[in-house]
């Protein structure tokens, strides 16, 4: 006790660091108490933080500082170019959604302005899309008729757009964009092709001049509706052959043709009157009462997810071409806000369509200002030019939609899937057939369901294969991939290619047991060649849960009863942490955990020739793991 007292003084002194910090603060208070710039400096730090937040939420504040006249020239040209496509497409897609044609123009005014402020893509051109328009008509039309109750149908379309925007914004704020990627590439190819086929079939009403047409989207109902009205084929207008390669030119010439010769073509259906003026407010028209709120919510979520998947995919594609990055979470927030504000101003669902974005890209756009120019052009049209669309024939709008949809039937991508991955092709084909012969919802459910099923199969059935040594090296590889790799006597090396979870732990336990049984049958009963060590290569196991740890413990017990020893090779940091906390390392012994497969093989080979498996000795040259 006396010696202890000599080394530890009776009076404890505070550590020097807090004392120096306190002294520094006191001196600052004394020396700078009357500093007139102190408040300014504090306010400057706060303003910088606010500026960083604003620049994160509004990317326009980032790129606007370097904006110049050359950029403006390119954006003006691009904006006018995409406006010439947006105007006829907007009217056409609104017709496809069973909405007033003027809503297609409204939807090309407010949402592009919002996206220009909040979006991070330089090339994305905002507007309505055919697939979402068709899906809106199909889902809302099941319970509310756009003909018998157009006012309620219109208000539900606004409400569905609001819910879609709210869902998109929440996904972005919560950084849950991975949920959108449940739709695999193969599923999107099949779904888009099926939807494009259905859209083209729906346009036969306008092309053939049919007055009565089915509201169903499947091919059987559409063909039945066409053949049941074959007696009306005499009314088929001459404008059937107008090309839709240049949409605006087609609209102009089609309108002029009908205007000057309409007396001779009474069977031609036209748009009719479009109201002048900028978007009227629609915030008071949103429907939040039962039973229709459920319909609007369901429609908004499904169409919103599809629009989000398409818009982000298109934005990333063009960003890759120009070698810049876009933030997926920012994009989701931008899409969400433009649809929320759009639902308040008589717009329906918008996103970044591929066709319009491709035109914007090829026209040489530099920034999102091209969306502003397009919105201004649409505003001028709404204020002054809408009467000119009175005589626009519906057959031209149908041709525009068909021309746009044909590009979505990517048969080359489908053939590539067949060559590359038969399961992906099956996903693609299922989505296509579900949309064409069923409904849009059936196709969507099939594509998502099969994609999720495959994901579960990947998680529930991870690859596990036997490894062998490549001669004259210390490299170990899959013996199926490398036939020259040879197995070693007395041990087998099994590589687990994936995380170990509750969903696959039973499968892995059984699979390891089968590998051991097969190997023992090959070796026979000879003691010289008998199997003694099982090395598990866990280099690809990124994580493990409690079920996985229990599986390893069971495997260790089973091997112990069969006089076999479990050896772990190359576990990751997260894996080691959990194995240490679960006391699994203490159970098998830290000497049986190795950095690499080669070191594990060296240790096992040493033990095979010098000692029994249950009494490991220190092996020189083999480093130990830090279990903590």
Residues in contact with 406: Cβ distance below 8 Å, sequence separation at least 6, in sequence order: 196, 200
Spatial separation of the C-alpha atoms in residues 137 and 466, rounded to whole Å? 54
Q: Which of the two residues, 261 and 215, has the higher pLDDT score?
A: 261
Q: Are strands 533-537 and 491-497 parallel, antiparallel or unpaired?
A: parallel
Tell me the domains of the chain and their CATH numbers.
64-409 (no CATH), 462-610 (3.30.750.24)
Mean pLDDT of 511-532: 77
Is the per-residue pLDDT at 23 higher than 80? no
- Mind listing the pLDDT tens digit for each residue in 126-154? 999 888 888 898 899 889 989 899 999 99
**Residues 333 and 172: beta-carbon distance below 8 Å:** yes
Cβ neighbour number for residue 227 with a 10 Å cutoff: 8
| Confidence at 66, pLDDT banded by 50, 70, 90 | confident
Cβ neighbour number for residue 241 with a 10 Å cutoff: 8
pLDDT at 456: 82
Cβ neighbour number for residue 272 with a 10 Å cutoff: 12
Cα distances (Å, whole numbers) of residue 600 to 103, 235, 480, 597: 69, 83, 21, 5
**Residues 623 and 572: beta-carbon distance below 8 Å:** no
Query: DSSP characters for 560-611?
Result: HHTT-EEEEES--HHHHHHHHHTTHHHHH-GGGEESSHHHHHHHHHHHHHHS
Q: Which of the two residues, 582 and 399, has the higher pLDDT score?
A: 582
Strands of 476-478's sheet in order across? 476-478, 463-469, 491-497, 533-537, 565-569, 593-594
Rounded to the nearest integer, the mean pLDDT of the chain is 80
**Percent share of the chain, pLDDT over 70:** 78
Structure-block tokens of residue 559? 């091997």
Query: DSSP characters for 165-233?
Result: HHHHHHHHHTT-GGGGGGS-HHHHHHHHHHHHHHHHHHTHHHHHT-S---S--SHHHHHHHHHTTGGGG
Question: Which is it for the CA torsion 369, 374, 380, 382, positive or negative?
Answer: negative
Q: Are strands 593-594 and 565-569 parallel, antiparallel or unpaired?
A: parallel
pTM: 0.69
pLDDT at 161: 97
- Mind listing the pLDDT tens digit for each residue in 216-270? 656 677 667 666 654 444 444 333 333 333 566 777 777 777 777 764 555 677 7
Q: Which of the two residues, 619 and 54, has the higher pLDDT score?
A: 54
Spatial separation of the C-alpha atoms in residues 334 and 316, rounded to whole Å? 15
Is the per-residue pLDDT at 156 higher than 90? yes
């Amino acid at each position: 006790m006396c010696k202890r007292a000599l080394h530890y003084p009776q009076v404890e002194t505070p550590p020097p660091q807090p004392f120096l910090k306190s002294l520094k603060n006191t001196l600052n208070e004394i020396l700078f108490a009357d500093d007139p710039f102190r408040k300014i400096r504090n306010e400057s730090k706060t303003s910088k933080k606010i500026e960083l937040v604003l620049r994160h939420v509004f990317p326009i504040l980032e790129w606007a500082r370097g904006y110049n006249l050359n950029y403006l020239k390119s954006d003006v040209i691009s904006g006018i170019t995409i406006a010439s496509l947006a105007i006829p497409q907007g009217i056409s897609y609104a017709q496809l959604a069973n909405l007033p044609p003027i809503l297609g123009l409204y939807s090309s005014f407010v949402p592009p302005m919002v996206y220009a402020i909040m979006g991070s893509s330089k090339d994305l051109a905002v507007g309505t899309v055919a697939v979402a328009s068709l899906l809106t008509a199909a889902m809302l039309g099941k319970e509310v008729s756009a003909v018998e109750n157009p006012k309620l149908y219109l208000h539900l379309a606004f409400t569905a757009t609001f819910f879609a925007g709210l869902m998109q914004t929440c996904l972005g704020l919560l950084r849950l964009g991975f949920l959108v990627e449940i739709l695999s590439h193969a599923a999107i190819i099949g779904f888009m092709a099926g939807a494009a086929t259905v859209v083209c079939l729906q346009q036969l009403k306008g092309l053939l001049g049919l007055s009565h047409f089915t509201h169903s989207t499947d091919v059987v109902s559409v063909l039945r509706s066409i053949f049941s009205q074959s007696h009306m084929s005499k009314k088929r207008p001459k404008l059937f052959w107008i090309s839709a390669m240049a949409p605006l030119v087609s609209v102009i010439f089609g309108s002029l043709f009908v205007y000057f010769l309409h007396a001779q073509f009474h069977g031609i259906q036209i748009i009719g009157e479009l109201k002048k003026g900028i978007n009227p407010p629609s915030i008071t028209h949103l429907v939040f009462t039962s039973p229709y709120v459920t319909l609007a919510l369901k429609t908004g979520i499904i169409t919103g997810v599809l629009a989000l998947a398409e818009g982000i995919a298109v934005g990333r594609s063009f960003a890759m071409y120009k070698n810049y990055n876009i933030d997926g979470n920012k994009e989701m927030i931008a899409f969400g806000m433009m649809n929320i504000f759009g639902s308040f101003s008589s717009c329906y669902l918008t996103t970044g369509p591929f066709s319009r974005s491709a035109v914007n890209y090829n026209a040489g756009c530099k920034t999102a200002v091209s969306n502003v120019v397009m919105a201004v052009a649409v505003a001028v049209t709404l204020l002054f030019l809408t009467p000119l669309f009175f005589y626009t024939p519906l057959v031209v709008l149908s041709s525009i939609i068909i021309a746009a949809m044909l590009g979505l039937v990517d048969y080359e991508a489908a053939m590539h899937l067949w060559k590359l991955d038969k399961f992906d092709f099956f996903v693609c084909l299922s989505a296509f057939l579900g949309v064409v012969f069923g409904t849009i919802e059936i196709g969507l459910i099939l594509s998502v369901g099969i994609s999720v099923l495959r994901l579960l199969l990947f998680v529930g059935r991870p690859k596990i294969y036997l490894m062998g040594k490549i001669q004259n090296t210390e490299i170990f590889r899959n013996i199926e991939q490398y036939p020259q790799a040879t197995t070693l006597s007395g041990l087998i090396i099994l590589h687990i290619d994936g995380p170990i979870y509750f969903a696959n732990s039973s499968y892995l336990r059984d699979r390891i047991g089968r590998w051991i049984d097969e190997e023992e049958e090959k070796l026979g009963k000879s003691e010289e060649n008998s199997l003694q060590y099982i090395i598990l290569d866990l280099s690809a196991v990124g994580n493990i849960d409690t079920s996985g740890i229990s599986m390893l413990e069971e495997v260790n017990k089973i091997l112990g009863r069969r006089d076999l020893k479990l050896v772990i090779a190359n576990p990751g940091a997260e894996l080691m942490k959990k194995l240490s906390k679960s006391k699994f390392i203490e159970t098998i012994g830290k000497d049986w955990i190795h950095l690499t497969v080669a070191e594990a093989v060296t240790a096992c080979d040493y033990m095979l020739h010098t000692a029994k498996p249950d009494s490991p000795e220190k092996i020189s040259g083999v480093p130990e793991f830090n279990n903590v």
